[in-house]
């Protein structure tokens, strides 16, 4: 299938997971979602990534985000691997690992690297909004572990900019000033952003984060 793009509807699917069977869209409900893939079970980088994700559960919960991981290995393998993750990463895996031995999910989300083994997924990340639309895609090579603090940062930006006519500047983190979008006229700023603003250039106007 064609590569998924921002704004596309995230494909729905049914699958077995370490938390029981799920229907993806139904499981997401009104939450935001993070779906991320792993090249295989019992691999070192993936083990650290799943541990890091488990440790961020409180942060995801605060943002109304559900997380699910997918690997092309079967369910029995996932259950065994979770034991290793919990032991080596000093945590408890607290989100579903999707069993995808027939590669249905990997194919739906175009996770199979064309220049790699046919059963090796790249390190894909999809952030999905409550409207089931894809808001962010990230693809890492198999050799590079993902930065899950960055994924949390991006979700903060996505949730903020979904509700206000603002954009977030380079390296922005929650609590810092944001940029007023060009859709907002100068005369509208006082009403929309009563905390005040700074006019750096006609096209570059900043304001304190409006939901803080």
Residue 124 dihedral angles phi and psi, to the nearest 5° = -90, 150
Q: Say whether 46 is catalytic.
A: yes
For residues 49 and 89, what is the distance between their CA atoms, to the nearest angstrom? Answer: 9
- In contact, 121 and 113? CB cutoff 8 Å: yes
- In the structure encoding, which two tokens stand for residue 140, read together? 């890492």
For residues 105 and 107, what is the distance between their CA atoms, to the nearest angstrom? Answer: 5
With the C-alpha atoms ordered 95, 41, 47, 76, is the resulting torsion angle positive or negative?
positive
For residues 107 and 195, what is the distance between their CA atoms, to the nearest angstrom? Answer: 47
DSSP type of residue 3: P
For residues 72 and 105, what is the distance between their CA atoms, to the nearest angstrom? Answer: 9
Cα 113 to the center of its chain, rounded Å: 19
| Alpha-carbon dihedral 46, 22, 16, 43, rounded to 10 degrees | 0
Active-site residue identified among 46, 54, 160, 179: 46
Catalytic positions, please? 46
């Amino acid at each position: 299938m064609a590569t998924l793009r921002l704004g596309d509807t995230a494909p729905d699917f049914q699958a077995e997971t370490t938390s029981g069977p799920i229907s993806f869209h139904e499981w997401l409900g009104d939450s935001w979602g993070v779906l991320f893939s792993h090249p295989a079970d019992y691999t070192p980088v993936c083990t650290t990534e799943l541990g890091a994700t488990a440790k961020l559960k409180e942060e995801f919960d605060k943002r109304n985000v559900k997380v699910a991981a997918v690997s092309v290995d079967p369910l029995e393998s996932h259950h065994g691997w979770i034991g290793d993750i919990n032991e080596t990463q000093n945590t408890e895996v607290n989100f579903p690992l999707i069993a995808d031995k027939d590669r249905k999910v990997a194919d739906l989300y175009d996770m199979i690297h064309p220049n790699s083994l046919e059963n090796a997924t790249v390190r894909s990340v999809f952030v999905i909004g409550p409207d089931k639309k894809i808001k962010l895609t990230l693809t890492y090579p198999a050799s590079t572990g993902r930065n899950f603090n960055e994924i949390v940062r991006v979700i903060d930006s996505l949730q903020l900019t979904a509700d206000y006519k603002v954009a977030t500047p380079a390296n922005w983190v929650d609590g810092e000033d944001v940029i007023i979008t060009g859709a907002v006229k100068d005369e509208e700023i006082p009403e929309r952003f009563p905390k005040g603003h700074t006019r750096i250039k006609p096209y570059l106007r900043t304001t304190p984060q409006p939901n803080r």
